[in-house]
Amino acid sequence: MTEHALPIRVLVAKPGLDGHDRGAKVIARALRDAGMDVVYTGLGQTPHMIVEAAIQEDVDVVGLSILSGAHMTLLPKVVSELRAAGMAQCVVVAGGIIPAEDAQLLCREHGVDAIYGPGTNTADIVAFLQSEVARRRSAS
């Protein structure tokens, strides 16, 4: 099997004190159904814990689900720690309750690749991840 034929590996995490994980589980299931290898870390993850898990699992994608309102603090920390750990090629996506102006700032200035709100069609997320991971794998 060539490197490009390897399944996409995704880490789904819930940073911070957010106690609601239904959406994260729905996304994890949809990504598994699309043939991706998915690791779900569970609730209450710190940015450091998320990055350590991403390194250990050798993931292509880190998906962050956040509803707590701490997205402007936690998401940039995860991206920064991924870069510091040599995982800048990792695709970072987020979902949850994130106002549009914050989403634009997170993507434009803090290295988040895409943000998906409630009601996003999971097929759109799958298509983006497949395309972006293929692009990054071919570039490396």
Q: DSSP string of 33-99?
A: HTT-EEEE--SSB-HHHHHHHHHHHT-SEEEEEE-SS-HHHHHHHHHHHHHHTT-TTSEEEEEES--
pLDDT on residue 115: 97
pLDDT on residue 140: 82
- Residues sharing a CB contact under 8 Å with residue 47, sequence separation 6 or more, in sequence order: 15, 74, 77, 78, 81
> What percent of the chain is modeled with pLDDT above 90?
88
pLDDT in tens, 60-78: 999 999 998 999 999 999 9
pLDDT mean over 95-110: 96
* Structural domains of the chain ordered from first start: 6-139 (3.40.50.280)
Angle between helix 47-57 and helix 71-84 axes, rounded to 10 deg: 40
Is pLDDT above 50 for 2?
Answer: no
Q: What is the mean pLDDT of the chain?
A: 94
Distance from C-alpha of 105 to C-alpha of 109, rounded to nearest angstrom: 6
Q: pLDDT grade, residue 19 (50/70/90)?
A: confident
Q: For tokens 């799958």, name the residue.
A: 126
